[in-house]
């Protein structure tokens, strides 16, 4: 009863989800088909529609993105032109047509280089690296992943840096350097978990699980693949679901549980057929060939391996083509067709040598060394620039201090000069006053001398007159004696 209720709930939920998705699509189509809308709004609408179809129906996405590209070119909207090229390139990558995917990704790169959009350029490098990874061209893969990381570090694009960690981890995994692969994958996972980015967390789980699988830690690998599957189902990522089912099938294959492996692989094949993922279909055929070989059905194994070979050739998937030759050689030998077994083994060996030859190994080493050198140079340059800025700051501070000292000295000199001028003026005034005083003193002295002379003359005159007077006037004593004699008489 509980199971039935659960199924009803899930069915109701999915119906609501589909209804909501259809409603969103109808709304976007209404905007795009309304020619009275601004061109920018119409382009945004068709871009959103393309993104809805790109995983589940890449063929439809390509048709719609071509319409988006035409409108972007007509209205001269370069940014949306780049988005259209990117969408078409991504859709072709999901279809497994890597040459077409590269063609459109490089067109996208040209557009963003013309716009000098560094973030978009970094994304283009990353996408191109992804395609080369699928083509098993590891030197080219590493070249473009490192370009992406370099430009993302320049602009401090944290999301991009985390994605680059993931991609570099992939290259380390391909080189069987599992310790470094886990190191980079874990760095990426830690970042995605802090951001709560479910889609990228799921991808990180897949990557970490794949490393544990290669290390033959099957239980740990299964743990991470099941975590990834849960997230892919929650986010309705059909491409991711198909990948997880196949990975889980591979783990059960390695655990020798071939029936469980077959069940998961068939689930993966169904999803990948539904979405037209040729690369995924080819990979499923390859695993089904291996499974039937283990189940001793060699003829069915040959049929699946041959199907895997044809798809791999069609889409240029050299890795699966290589393993298809190996599996065919094994299956043909089991049924006594040794000529076909030998021919397929020779082809397997030739492809293996072409992938892992010394030139490729040297190119990988050279690219890694070049990146480390460039990174070290960049660090030294940043350090030198920081030191230079520090020295400039010190020099500027010293210059300011000197300017303050000069200004202070100049101020003191100005004050001294003004004071000196004031003293000089006072001195000149004093000199003039002294001269005037000297002149006045001379005049006073002269006047005094003249007055003295006049006083002397007057006094001399007075004394002279007095003498004359004295000589002429009878003395008082004589008069008194004369009176006394008269009184007596």
In angstroms, the CA 125 to CA 31 distance is: 32
Task: For residue 85, tell me if it sits in a domain.
Answer: yes
Task: For residue 52, tell me if it sits in a domain.
Answer: yes
In angstroms, the CA 78 to CA 469 distance is: 141
* pLDDT tens sequence for the chain (489 residues): 333 232 222 233 333 444 455 667 778 888 788 887 887 888 888 888 888 888 778 899 899 888 888 988 988 889 888 899 999 999 998 888 999 999 999 999 999 999 999 999 999 999 999 899 888 888 889 899 989 999 999 999 988 888 898 888 988 888 788 998 999 899 999 988 988 888 889 989 999 999 999 999 999 999 999 999 999 999 888 989 999 999 999 999 999 999 999 999 999 999 999 998 888 898 899 999 999 999 898 999 999 999 989 998 888 888 888 888 989 999 898 999 988 889 988 988 888 887 766 455 555 555 554 555 455 455 545 555 665 666 566 667 777 777 777 777 777 777 777 867 777 777 777 777 777 777 776 776 676 677 667 667 766 666 665 665 555 555 566 556 666 666 665
**What pLDDT score does 42 carry?**
87
Task: For residue 95, tell me if it sits in a domain.
Answer: yes
Task: For residue 58, tell me if it sits in a domain.
Answer: yes
**What pLDDT score does 125 carry?**
94
Task: For residue 396, tell me if it sits in a domain.
Answer: no
Task: For residue 346, tell me if it sits in a domain.
Answer: no
Q: How many Cβ atoms from other residues are within 10 Å of residue 446's Cβ?
A: 10
Ramachandran sector of residue 37 (left: φ over 0; alpha: ψ -120 to 50; beta: rest): beta
**What pLDDT score does 176 carry?**
87
**What pLDDT score does 475 carry?**
57
| CB-based burial, 165-192: b 16+ in 10 Å, e otherwise | bbbbbbbbbbbeebeebbebbbbbbebb
Q: Are 46 and 67 in contact (CB under 8 A)?
A: yes
Angle at CA 374, nearest 5°, toward 192 and 131? 55
CATH number for the domain that contains residue 124 = 1.25.40.10
**Gyration radius of the chain's alpha carbons:** 54
Task: For residue 98, tell me if it sits in a domain.
Answer: yes
Q: Which domain holds residue 119?
A: 24-138
Task: Please state the domain count of the chain.
Answer: 1
Task: For residue 472, tell me if it sits in a domain.
Answer: no
């Amino acid at each position: 009863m509980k199971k039935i209720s659960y199924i009803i709930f899930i069915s109701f939920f999915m119906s609501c989800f589909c209804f909501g998705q259809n409603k969103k699509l109808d709304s976007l189509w209404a905007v795009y088909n309304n020619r009275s809308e601004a061109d920018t709004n119409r382009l945004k609408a068709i871009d959103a529609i393309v993104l809805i179809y790109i995983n589940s129906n890449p063929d439809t996405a390509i048709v719609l993105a071509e319409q988006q590209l035409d409108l972007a070119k007509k209205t001269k909207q370069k940014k949306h032109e780049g988005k259209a090229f990117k969408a078409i390139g991504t859709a072709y990558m999901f279809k497994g047509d890597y040459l077409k995917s590269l063609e459109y990704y490089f067109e996208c790169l040209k557009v963003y280089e013309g716009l000098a959009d560094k973030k978009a350029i970094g994304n283009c490098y990353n996408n191109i690296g992804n395609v080369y990874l699928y083509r098993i061209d590891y030197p080219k893969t590493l070249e473009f992943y490192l370009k992406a990381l370099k430009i993302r570090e320049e602009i401090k694009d944290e999301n991009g840096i985390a994605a680059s960690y993931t991609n570099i981890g992939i290259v380390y995994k391909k080189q069987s350097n599992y310790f470094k692969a886990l190191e980079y994958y874990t760095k990426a996972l830690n970042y995605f978990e802090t951001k709560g980015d479910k889609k990228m967390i799921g991808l990180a789980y897949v990557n970490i699980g794949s490393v544990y699988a290669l290390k033959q830690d099957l239980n740990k690998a299964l743990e991470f693949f099941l975590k990834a599957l849960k997230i892919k189902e929650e986010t309705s990522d059909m491409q991711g679901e198909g990948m997880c089912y196949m990975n889980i099938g591979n783990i059960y294959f390695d655990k020798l549980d071939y029936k469980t492996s077959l069940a998961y692989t068939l689930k993966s094949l169904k999803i990948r057929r539904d979405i037209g993922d040729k690369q995924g279909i080819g990979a499923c055929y390859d695993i089904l060939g291996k499974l039937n070989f283990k189940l001793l059905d060699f003829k069915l194994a040959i049929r699946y391996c041959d199907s895997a070979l044809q798809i791999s050739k069609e889409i240029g998937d050299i890795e699966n083509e290589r393993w298809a030759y190996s599996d065919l050689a094994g299956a043909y030998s089991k049924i006594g067709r040794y000529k076909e077994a030998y021919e397929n083994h020779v082809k397997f060996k030739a492809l293996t040598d072409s992938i892992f030859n010394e030139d490729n190994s040297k190119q990988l080493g050279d690219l890694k060394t070049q990146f480390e050198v460039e990174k070290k140079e960049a660090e030294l340059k940043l350090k030198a620039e920081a030191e230079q800025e520090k020295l400039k700051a010190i020099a500027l501070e010293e210059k300011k201090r000197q300017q303050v000292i000069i200004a202070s000295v100049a101020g003191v000199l100005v004050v001294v000069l003004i004071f000196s001028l004031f003293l000089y003026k006072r001195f000149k005034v004093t000199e003039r006053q002294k001269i005037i005083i000297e002149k006045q003193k001379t005049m006073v002295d002269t006047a005094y001398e003249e007055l003295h002379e006049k006083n002397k003359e007057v006094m001399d005159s007075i004394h002279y007159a007095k003498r004359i007077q004295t000589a002429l006037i009878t003395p008082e004593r004589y008069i008194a004696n004369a009176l006394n004699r008269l009184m007596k008489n």
